[in-house]
A and B are shown apart, each in its own frame.
Chain A
Amino acid sequence: MEADDRTMTDNQQMEESENLVQKAFQVELNRRLTELDSYGDDSLGEFTTIDLVCAGFFFIFIPLLCVWLLR
């Protein structure tokens, strides 16, 4: 009986602490989203259209050409 009570109290405590963790996650998520907003668009260095064209040429077109030439 006493052991059952103890298990119930432990379970309740675990549930409560999980709820606290969940709430803390949500607060932390909001904090992080606000910080992301403050970065602005170019904060991480822009991947420009020139990058895209170069990547397409060197990593897609050239390899495709090699495969085609060796047919």
Chain B
Amino acid sequence: MITENEKTFSCKLQERIREEAVCGRLPLLRTEREYSFWSISATGFAYAVATWCFLIGGYAASIVGARQGMAALIAGSTIGVAISAVASALACNRYGIEQIDFTKSCFGQKGSKIILFFYVINQVGWTGIILVMMARAVKNVIASMGFHTGDFLVPLVTLGGVIITYLIVAKGVHVLNLWNSIITPLLVIVCLFLFYVIFQRFGWNALLQAAPLAPSPDRNFNYMLAFEYGLGAGFSWWPGIGFLARNTDTQRNSFYPQVLTMGLLMGIVCCTGLFSGLLFRQSDPTVWMLKVGGPVFGIIALFLVAAANVSASSIMMYTAGLAMRHVRPLRGLSWRKLMLLTYIPLIAFVLFPDVLYERGNSFLAYNATMYVPISGVLLIDYLLLRHGRLNPSQLFESAPGGTYYFIGGFNPYALGSMIFGQVLYIWLYNPVTGAYHYPFSTLTASIPAALLPMALYYVLARFLLVKKGIGGYVGDSYTSKSLLRPNI
């Protein structure tokens, strides 16, 4: 006889399993997938029209003019998303798996924790930057109304944003679905209005003649740096790609719509920030928005920016929290405690909001530093060495005999190639200090930092992994094996 309590527990359990499948780590089955071509395009579109596009465009306006800026941003973000999506989207879609689980097939069960670290930095860093952006938007709106605000306002509003997003995430981000369905169309209208005002008031010629705000003397360096910003914007999507792809119905739908919306379209939206920055001589969107369409439009636009930023921050912190579940000691923590732990680094943005906000362009390039070599190595591993096939059961096997355990839980050749790529990138262009070496002005930092680790890893894996039968590259069955130590 089943008691009422047992029935309730069973219902709750089913709900948790469903929740864990859609938003967590259980492989998502074909019947559970929500996105078709149009729905993944709509979601990608909503992601692309994000407020950080205004920031990225503003960074480019500081160093290049309209023509070069457009090419750099649109081409950069398209290439960035294409390279980061080609392996991750296809694998996550084929097996319905989460992005960090996929990286285990290349970097090893323990090695993937290193990738997880970069993943969380990306999510927390972008969250901090856009929360400060929200705080500055509030400050500028108040100032435009003629009220003077003290220095305390930005840290205070940032702290408020941190608390609000924490409460949303602790409760569950589903409440944001309705919120996003209202905010996203309004942001599209803001973008269209910005384009309209720019071309109606200034015209194409004025735009082409507008000089960059603060370029360095080396013209090639400026152009390549703007291209790096575009690439950084594209590669910043790396953590989100698997999350969407695993929930999409076919392989092609998991790839093409993401590149077209989060790459190509995002590059175009970034151009609103670029054009406004060049024409209004100000790279900070929270300042130029008030100048573009007058105080009423400016206040409405900044209000939308603030609202969209709360929503985007909540989603990013939510995915960061889910990713933290990969760390065994954190798996037992309650969701609220886990999120509290994930939120700790955001305190830095409350204490030093302006310093960190103004280093946003370095953070943008940093995303390319981290993800360019990771994406390159994953691409070679999945497409060339594994011919697009994994054994999904072994991604959940933590026992030393597991297929993806490699050497002590790490694939030293994949990790070594990745580190080589990151060091090479930093040598070519250091996003923190701004120092660079000559090849950067011709080759960029991302292209060599993707191609060389790819070639290095291919050679190392062929001779030291495939030949020795390590890592399941040859002779391994693709059907499930029973798990000795499941890591879920």
Contacts and interface: CB of A to CB of B under 8 A. Distances in A.
A35 B16 CA distance: 20
Interface string B225-267: 0010000000000000000000001111001100100010000
Closest 9 CB pairs of A and B: A63-B75, A59-B82, A45-B250, A47-B251, A33-B480, A70-B71, A33-B393, A32-B27, A67-B75
B90 interface: yes
Nearest to A32: B27
Contact of B396 (A29, A47, A52, A64): A29
Nearest to A55: B82
A9 B179 CA distance: 41
B223 interface: yes
B83 A33 contact: no
B228 to A, nearest CB: 11
Task: State which size class the interface on B falls in.
Answer: 35 or more
Contact of A55 (B9, B13, B259, B488): B259
A55 B89 CA distance: 13
A25 B75 contact: no
Given A26-B488, A34-B480, A63-B75, 8 more contacts: A24-B13, A26-B483, A26-B486, A28-B21, A39-B30, A51-B255, A60-B82, A64-B79
Give chain B's interface secondary structure class: helix
A71 interface: yes
B26 interface: yes
Contacts of B263: 59
Interface of B: 9, 13, 16-17, 20-21, 26-27, 29-30, 67-68, 71-72, 74-76, 78-79, 81-83, 86, 90, 93-96, 220, 223, 227, 249-252, 255-256, 259, 263, 332, 383, 388-389, 392-393, 396, 478-480, 482-483, 486, 488
B78 A59 contact: yes
12 contacts: A29-B26, A29-B27, A29-B488, A36-B27, A36-B480, A37-B479, A44-B250, A45-B251, A52-B383, A59-B78, A63-B76, A70-B68
Contacts of B95: 36
A12 interface: no
Interface string A49-71: 00110010001100110110011
B392 A25 contact: no
Contacts of A55: 82, 86, 255-256, 259
Contact of B20 (A25, A41, A63): A25
Interface of A: 17-18, 20-21, 24-26, 28-30, 32-37, 39, 41, 43-47, 51-52, 55, 59-60, 63-64, 66-67, 70-71
Contacts of B79: 59-60, 63-64
B450 to A, nearest CB: 10
Interface of A is mostly: helix
Contacts of A46: 251
Contact of A45 (B82, B227, B252, B488): B252
A20 B13 contact: yes
Contacts of B81: 59
Contacts of A64: 75, 79
A32 B246 CA distance: 14
Given A25-B20, A34-B480, A60-B82, A44 B30 contact: yes
Nearest to B481: A33
A33 B392 contact: yes
A32 B78 contact: no
Which of A25, A26, A44, A71 has most chain B Cβ within 10 Å?
A44
A17 to B, nearest CB: 7
B67 A70 contact: yes
A63 B268 CA distance: 13
B96 A71 contact: no
B223 A71 contact: yes
Given A45-B252, A46-B251, A59-B263, A52 B86 contact: yes
A17 B9 contact: yes
Nearest to B394: A33
